[in-house]
Chains A and B, each alone.
Chain A
Amino acid sequence: QQPVQSPQAVILREGEDAVINCSSSKALYSVHWYRQKHGEAPIFLMILLKGGEQKGHDKISASFNEKKQQSSLYLTASQLSYSGTYFCGTESRPGNTPLVFGKGTRLSVIA
């Protein structure tokens, strides 16, 4: 079953913050976050593994609440380059298994 992402779309002004959520009805082992620009490949951002850890990468960070089967991606002080579609991909067991992707969240950052 695919994870559910929210919101579907968001428009930000440069410097504003955003949160993108990814929820699953199935027990998760890991959540992978990707950003995809139009016509390009998904670019890996980070993995969250079971354990509720939070990760950061520049001004982008994420958390994983395994009890709620939910991950959130935090974008702080957004830049124009953050524009794109953000996908979460989930794994329900260990072992480099195929990712099940959500429908994506389209983020547009405007000046």
Chain B
Amino acid sequence: EPEVTQTPSHQVTQMGQEVILRCVPISNHLYFYWYRQILGQKVEFLVSFYNNEISEKSEIFDDQFSVERPDGSNFTLKIRSTKLEDSAMYFCASTGGQISNQPQHFGDGTRLSIL
């Protein structure tokens, strides 16, 4: 069964450094999302992407964050100048097709640890 893949599985970075989290969504999907989950808390929406542009973003997704789909398969989340509070599990999700309200399939996540 097709799945969303994320790399790396774990990233440890010094505060102030930039990180890029990578995702390969399911190949025929058209809608892509980034969510994050701080340890022990709920999953929070960051940004959604459709038709090569951001369709929605949350208050969390400030100027520190950016997303890109540099080619036909990868979907990346860049965090500039990381802060301690950016430590969390970051999930990429995708859903697809023209039919509305389809399941969002999540990748296994990248655990980001900021030191």
Contact = CB atoms under 8 A, between A and B. Distances in A.
Interface string B27-41: 000010101000001
Interface pairs A-B: 5 shortest CB-CB: A98-B45, A41-B106, A94-B100, A44-B103, A101-B43
Interface in A10-43: 29-30, 32, 34, 40-43
Contact of B104 (A94, A99, A102): A99
Contacts, number: 61
Interface residues on A, range: 20 to 34
A32 B42 contact: no
A43 B95 CA distance: 13
A97 B50 CA distance: 10
B101 A100 contact: no
A64 interface: no
Interface string B87-114: 0000100010000111111111100000
B103 A32 contact: yes
Contacts of B82: none
Contacts of B33: 98
Nearest to A48: B101
Interface string A88-99: 010100111111
Interface of B: 31, 33, 35, 41-45, 48, 50, 56, 58, 91, 95, 100-109
Given A97-B56, A103-B42, A42 B106 contact: yes
B100 to A, nearest CB: 4
29 contacts: A2-B42, A29-B101, A30-B101, A32-B104, A41-B91, A41-B106, A41-B107, A41-B109, A42-B91, A44-B103, A44-B104, A44-B105, A47-B102, A49-B101, A87-B43, A89-B43, A94-B100, A96-B31, A96-B95, A96-B100, A96-B102, A97-B48, A98-B33, A98-B45, A98-B58, A99-B35, A101-B45, A102-B42, A104-B42
A99 to B, nearest CB: 6
A87 B42 CA distance: 8
A41 B58 CA distance: 21
Given A2-B42, A44-B105, 15 more contacts: A40-B108, A40-B109, A41-B106, A41-B107, A44-B104, A44-B106, A87-B42, A89-B104, A96-B31, A96-B100, A97-B48, A98-B56, A99-B43, A99-B104, A100-B45
